[in-house]
Amino acid sequence: MLCFPDCKINLGLFITQRREDGYHDIETLFYPLPLTDVLEIVPAKETKLHMSGLPVIGSAADNLVVKAHNLLIELYQERIPKLDIYLHKVIPMGAGLGGGSADGAFMLKLINDYCHLGLLPNELIALALQLGSDCPFFINNSPAFAMGRGEHLKQVALNLAAFSIQLICPSVHVSTREAFGMISPHPAPCNLEELAGLPIQEWKQLMSNDFETPVFKLHPALAEIKQQLYDQGAIYASMSGSGSALYGIFPKGKKALVETSLNFSEHYME
C-alpha cells in the first residue's frame, strides 16, 4: 500500500509562551502543499525501514515512520504483520516544512487502513501528538488555525489555488530546538484565524513569523532570498516554521528568479 506524505507551510507563526512541560505554545496557520515524500508498506518476514532520496539525519529507530509503527504495535500487536517500509524522501529535513511529521502521521493512517484498525480521525490525532507537535495537522491535512503545541486545530476556509506558490529550500539545516531557544515568547499581535479571511494583499503588513528575526541573523542569505521574492512580485513571502525554507505567493503564473550563494532546491506550484 502506497501513500504520499505532503508538506506544509506556516502562514504567520507566533510563539506565545513557554510551557512548564518544556514545549512552547504557538499560534499559526498551517497550509498543505503538494510537495511529497513517498511511503509504501508491503508484507515481509521482518520489519525493516528502507530509505532513498534525500539524506535523513539520525538512526532508523529515531525516524517518525518507525516510531509510528512501534506505537501501533504496542496497541495492536496481533493485528499488524511484519512489514517492509519504503520511504523515499523528497521533502528536505530542517526546512520548516514538516516532512518528518507528515511521514509519521501518514504512517499511522497507512497502517490504520492496511490493517483495518478502524481508528477514527480524533483517535489518530491523539496518537500523532505522541510523535510530534506538527503531526496532528497531517491527519486531516487541510488548512487549519493551530494553537497550543500545534495540536489544537480549527479548520479554516482558505484556498490559494488562484495563486502560484514558489518554494525555495536552501541547503541550510535549522534545528527546531535551537530556533526555539532564540525566541522570546510574547502574546500574538493579531488574530491569524481572522487574517485568513482577509485579501492576501493585506497579509504583508499584518502577518509575520517570529523565527525570522533570529534565524535571519544567523543566516543573512535567507533574508536576501525573501527580499528577492518580494522585489520580483510576491504578494506575500515568508520563512516557513523555523526555517530554512522560504516561499512566495505570486499572481498566477508568476515567479522569481532567485540568486544566492547557497545551494537550494526550488519547487513551483501553479
* Cis ω for the linkage preceding 133 (within 30 of 0): no
Whether 210 is catalytic = no
Per-residue exposure over 132-166, b if at least 16 CB sit within 10 Å of its own CB, e if not: bbbbbbbbbbebbbbbbbbbebeebebebeebbbb
Selecting among 8, 67, 109, 255, the annotated active-site residue is 8
Strands 264-269 and 246-251: unpaired
β-pairing, 48-53 with 83-89?
Answer: parallel
Q: Out of 6, 37, 103, 134, pick the active-site residue.
A: 134
Q: Per the structure block, which three cell numbers stand in for 211?
A: 523565527
Active-site positions read 8, 134
